[in-house]
Amino acid sequence: MQLPAKISKYELLEFLGGGMSHVYRAKDTVLGRTVAVKILTPQGNADPDARARFLQEARMASNITHDNIIAIFDFGEEQGRPYMVMEFLVGKSLRDLIKHGQTGDNERKMQIALQTARALGYIHNRKIVHRDVKPENIHIEDSSGKVKLMDFGIAKSEGVALTPSTPRP
């Protein structure tokens, strides 16, 4: 995949993955720290709903500060494409740990559940519902074992849905 060289003050170093948005390992050229940059794809940018969700996720998540929630450092648009800058996490998703039988003993599993519950309690107290809690959106850091909840793309805040909703019978 051809990397754009830079977006804003972030030098893009490595493509990490993604679907409607691409995530890159990057370097903040001002602060010198490694970050993750999420950029909406051209296809996602062409979809008004996807674009609105991306920008709303960036706005909402940038106002959340908690040990067990991924930190959003910056967001903006460059050449009409929205991007979001997050802390760079080294570790694995809970999905990968489950897949490879590496979730640990019962004490470790309880710690993962407790830290996830703390993150959810924090956002729920701020009237935010994540709506996409699943093993791939729970990250466990290699060095500390700290749990980080991520991907607020379909979250709901103060009664306003961030995704189009279909009436249910």
Same domain membership, residue 146 and residue 97 = yes
Give the full edge-to-edge strand order of the sheet including 147-149: 91-93, 138-141, 147-149
Q: Which of 145, 163, 146, 166 is nearest to 154 (CA)?
A: 163
Which pLDDT does position 160 carry in this prediction? 44
Q: Is residue 130 part of a domain?
A: yes
Same domain membership, residue 18 and residue 70 = yes
Residue tagged active-site, from 28, 132, 142, 151: 132
Q: Is residue 131 part of a domain?
A: yes
Both tokens assigned to 143: 């060095």
Same domain membership, residue 150 and residue 100 = yes
Q: Is residue 169 part of a domain?
A: no
3-state secondary structure of 141: strand
Q: Is residue 166 part of a domain?
A: no
The residue segments making up the domain with residue 69 are 6-87
Q: What's the number of domains the chain is made of?
A: 2
pLDDT tens, position by position, 19-34: 888 999 999 999 999 9
By the 10 Å C-beta count (0-12 exposed, 13-18 middle, 19+ buried), 65 is classed as exposed
Known catalytic residue: 96?
A: no
Same domain membership, residue 82 and residue 19 = yes
pLDDT tens, position by position, 104-149: 999 999 999 999 999 999 999 988 888 789 999 999 999 899 999 9
Same domain membership, residue 68 and residue 44 = yes
- Residue 157 near residue 60, CB atoms below 8 Å: yes
Query: What is this structure's pTM?
Result: 0.84
